[in-house]
Every structure is written in C-alpha cells, then in structure tokens.
C-alpha cells in the first residue's frame, strides 16, 4: 500500500483545480444516494485508496469501498461502491475517476510487460518519465502491476547519461566527478551505447551500467562480459513485442518508460443508483 501522506496534498490540489468555487449544480441535491464504480475494460485495478481520499476530503460522511488493489477486472465488474450525500458524490466522482483510471492504466500496462519477463529473473523497472507531481502515485501503480521502482528522484542515486558524460569530458571523468560529489552510500550508474563504453564504465568503477538502445545480441554479450561485476539494465527501444527477447539475455533489469509515460487510462465509470 501507499501511505496517505504521499497523496493527500495531491488530492487536495486536484479537488481545488476541479471545482475552485464549488459545484453550483451538484449542491442542489442534498439527499443521500449511492453509486457503483464499474470497469469498462480488462485491466488491473489501482487507486482505490486515492479515490477514497477524494470523497473523504469532499465529505467525510461518504462511505467508499473498492476491491483490493491489483485485482484483475473485466468489463461490467463492480469494482467499488460509494454512498452518502448526492452532492458529495457528484462533487468527487470526476476527480476520483481521474485517479482511478490513470493509476489503473499504469498498473495494467505494467502487468502486460511484467508477464512477458516472468520466469527469466529479470526486473521490470520504471523510469522518471512520469506525470509531473504524480510520480509517487504512478510509481506505486507500477508496483501494483508487478514492476519494480527505479530511483524516485535525482537525489536517490546518480545516473550519468549522455549529456553528463559530455559535460564532464568522458566516462572516467564523469565517474570521478560523481564520486567526489555523492556520498558513499549512493550508487553510481552510467548510461552507455556501445560495448566499448560499457567496458570503460566498468573499469572506471561504475556500480551499474545502463545499456541504452543496444540490440539483444549486444546486451547478451554485455551480460557475458560484465554481468558478474556490475548490475546491468537494458533500456531504449524496448516494447511488448521484443521485451521477452531482451529478458532471455539474462540482463538483471529492463527499464521501460512506456509503462508510465504512455499508459492508456483504464476505462472505469461511476453510476448512481436510480
């Protein structure tokens, strides 16, 4: 689960964005009512606690419940229920659905990729290619879908990419600069595009190497040569059609930005009882 402190302020900001001056129509219905959240597509449900927080902030008297996080859903499945003042249900439904659909979409996309690498011992990793201010929630959805989180922020570890290498004047120079500036507990990873660069990074003392846009054959060679010395991950140009081929190389991790930046929302509706 994800602690409420990770999304409480995000929910508050979303509600303020959606109805900065209240709901002039919904406030006309003070009576109590109930409704159901219905899945309209196959997928993995994620975001129930966040949707519950939406209604808690709108009106604490609203009662909300959802099926467990990570449950597989199909069209027509009743995935949650809400009851309370109708004006509160109308006020919170869109924001709750926005979170549910987005997070379920990320969890669903992650699950599709995770299924392809299951059994190979390869970690499916996310990236920092997330929606601004929704990183904690989207990375939570990755975990729900069966993926593993990469570093959360720039503060959590050093990943020296192409521009960093250029700025430093080379891979050894970039690693030396990282060792000088980072504390001793931070791992330092280097992104490389060739096997020659991978060898330079390993010999210069990298803790991990990101094999960027390499073919499966190149990744397999890198695993054979350096897999026993450093953590290797593959990234770039990897999609559902070829991720299993990369997993077969024995690489320790595969990072896929698409599970967050390109995940389609899962279609979920909220229907008031008549």
Catalytic residues: 94, 129, 161, 191, 212
Could you give the CA distance from residue 144 to residue 147 in angstroms, rounded to a whole number? Answer: 7
Instruction: Work out whether strand 32-39 and strand 268-272 pair parallel, antiparallel, or are unpaired.
Output: antiparallel
Q: Are 266 and 104 in contact (CB under 8 A)?
A: yes
47 Rama sector, left if φ>0, alpha if ψ -120 to 50, beta otherwise: left
Report the distance separating Cα 182 and Cα 262, nearest Å: 32
What is the three-class DSSP state of 9? helix
Chain centroid to Cα 214, Å, comes to 24
Residues forming a β-bridge with 158: 188
**Phi, psi (5° rounding) for residue 62?**
-70, 135
């Amino acid at each position: 689960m994800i602690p409420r402190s990770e999304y409480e302020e995000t929910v508050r900001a979303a509600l303020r964005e959606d109805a900065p001056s209240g709901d002039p129509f919904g406030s006309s219905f003070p009576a109590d009512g109930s409704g159901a959240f219905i899945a309209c597509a196959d997928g993995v449900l994620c975001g129930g606690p966040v949707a519950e927080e939406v209604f808690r902030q709108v009106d604490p008297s609203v009662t909300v419940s959802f099926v467990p996080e990570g449950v597989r859903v199909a069209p027509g499945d009743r995935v949650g229920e809400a009851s309370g003042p109708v004006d509160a249900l109308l006020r919170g439904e869109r924001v709750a659905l926005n979170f549910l659909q987005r997070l379920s979409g990320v969890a669903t996309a992650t699950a599709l990729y995770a299924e392809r690498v299951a059994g190979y011992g390869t970690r499916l990793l996310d990236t920092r290619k997330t929606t601004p201010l929704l990183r904690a929630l989207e990375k939570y959805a990755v975990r729900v879908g069966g993926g593993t989180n990469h570093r959360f922020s720039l503060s959590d570890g050093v990943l020296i990419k192409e521009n960093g290498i250029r700025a430093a004047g080379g891979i050894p120079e970039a690693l030396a600069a990282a060792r000088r500036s980072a504390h001793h507990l931070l791992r330092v990873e280097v992104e490389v595009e060739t096997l020659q660069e991978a060898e330079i990074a390993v010999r210069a003392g990298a803790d991990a190497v990101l094999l960027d846009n390499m073919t499966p054959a190149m990744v397999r060679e890198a695993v054979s040569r350096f897999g026993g010395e450093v953590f290797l991950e593959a990234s770039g140009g990897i999609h559902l059609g070829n991720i299993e081929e990369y997993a077969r190389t024995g690489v320790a991790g595969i990072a896929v930005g698409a599970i967050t930046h390109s995940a389609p929302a899962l279609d979920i509706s909220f229907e008031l009882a008549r």
